[in-house]
Structure 1
Amino acid sequence: MATETTLILFKPDAVAKNIVGTVLSRFEKEGFKIRALKMMSLSDEILAEHYAHIADKPFFPDVRSFMQETPVIAMVLEGEDVISKVRDLLGPTDSKEAAAGTIRGDFGDKGGDAKMRNVCHASDGPETATAEIRRFFHEGEVY
């Protein structure tokens, strides 16, 4: 097992539903340490960079609009194998497929936006985590 860091974004649906604290407590109960935490509004530029893999898709304007509905909460977590463990806690990207007991299964949208309104984004690997943490946090903001 390796100590890792990962980026979590509490998406606008989590902020609007007022469930950030509830979800955050699940991460803390797993023993993960918070290394950074802030609320921020996402610019078109940061969203185009973060979602570069889909920025040319016809549905990207909907993603951008959703991610700008409210500020998001960006967080860096640290722990043993935190990347895979967080992804397991979240469940599948599509909340309709997420089992009860997972974060997305318990709190994600079960309607047409289940892949987008799924409470949190989490890094999918060590390289991605490094890039995403740098994208959302400046030097000196991660402890």
Structure 2
Amino acid sequence: MAQETSLLLLKPDCVAQGLNGEVLKRLEAEGFRVRGIKMIQLTDELLKDHYSHIADKPFFPEVANFMKSKPVIAVALGGENVISHVRDLLGPTDSKAAPKGTIRGDFGSDKMTNVVHASDSPEAAAVELKRFFKDGEIFNY
């Protein structure tokens, strides 16, 4: 089993609905540990970098406007196989297809308002964590 750290973004819909504690409670109940956490307001520059794979798509402005609509909470979450396990706990990206009992199935609305972004691979996590956390902001304990 691999010890990993994943980036999670508690998205504007999560923040607006006051679900931050519930989401973190579910993740911590699985044995994962918060290694870093902060609330931030996303900028166009950061969003273009984070969503570079869709930045040229016609729907990107809608995604960017949603992600800037409220602050997000960036979380560095650590644990054994955290990346794949968290994605299972979240359910599919499209909340309408996510089963009840998953985070997106219980709290999400659709593909965009789906409560949480989570890294999809160790490689992506390494890049994303550096994008959202400075040196010294992620802790081992």
**TM-score after normalising by structure 1:** 0.97
Q: 1:131 deviation in Å?
A: 0.2
Partners of 2:123 and 2:60 lie apart in 1 by: 23
**TM-score after normalising by structure 2:** 0.98
SS at match of 1:45: helix
Could you give the per-residue CA deviations for residues 91-123 of structure 1, whole angstroms, max 9, x where no partner exists?
A: 0000000000000000001xxxx1000000000
Partners of 1:34 and 1:72 lie apart in 2 by: 16
Whether 2:116 is the aligned partner of 1:120: answer: yes
Q: 1:77 deviation in Å?
A: 0.5
Q: Which amino acid aligns with 1:118?
A: N
Whether 2:25 is the aligned partner of 1:25: answer: yes
Q: 1:41 deviation in Å?
A: 0.3
After TM superposition, the runs of 4+ consecutive aligned structure 1 residues lying more than 6 A away are: none
Unaligned runs of 5+ in 1: none
Unaligned runs of 5+ in 2: none
Map of 1:35 onto structure 2: 35
Q: 1:8 deviation in Å?
A: 0.3
Could you give the per-residue CA deviations for residues 26-61 of structure 1, whole angstroms, max 9, x where no partner exists?
A: 000000011000000001000000000000000000
Map of 2:16 onto structure 1: 16
| Percent identical residues | 63
Cα RMSD (Å) of the superposition? 0.3
Aligned length: 139
Counterpart mapping for 1:84-123 below 5 A: 84-109=84-109, 114-123=110-119
